[in-house]
Amino acid sequence: MEDQSAQWPIGRLLAAASRAVEREWDERLRAIGLQHAALIALDIALRTGPTGADVIARTARVQPQTMSRTLERLERDGMIERSPHPEDGRRRLVTVTEHGRRMWDTARHIEREVLPDDPELRARLGAIVAGVRRSDPDEVLAPDM
């Protein structure tokens, strides 16, 4: 049977392409013992430096309870450490360990293998995402990886 995808409406094509890339990326992340949600949390923690789980959850646009479960797995797997906040004993700071940094770096290489950077595609997709954010302020989108 002949592939008809070139004739699909652009929305269907974009959705199918997104699912295909996400499946491949998720499969390769699982192979190294990392989930996509964990990668997002690592990325945020690396970009912000030691910070609270609440900041990571808010930045990832997920509920604190959801992020708490992700951080528990990351801590169990030795990718983050949580320590008392120096100014607020009720809070804990999340810090990425050297193992977590290596896993993040490996994941970045996997991402580039699955979908090499293409500046034109990046610009067009960025415009689409920005348009969605303007039209729906409640849209939940992960931060840039």
How distant, in Å, are the alpha carbons of 15, 81, 103 from that of 77?
33, 10, 11
Specify the DSSP element, H or E, that contains 134.
helix 119-135
The Cα–Cα gap between 89 and 85 comes to: 6
CA 126 to CA 44: how far, in whole Å? Answer: 19
| Half-sphere exposure of residue 71: CA atoms within 13 angstroms, side-chain side | 26
Per the DSSP assignment, residues forming a β-bridge with 92 are 84
Tens place of pLDDT for every residue, the chain, 145 residues?
567 878 889 889 889 999 999 999 999 999 999 999 999 999 999 999 999 999 999 999 999 999 999 999 999 999 999 998 888 778 889 999 999 999 999 999 998 999 888 999 999 988 988 887 665 555 444 444 4
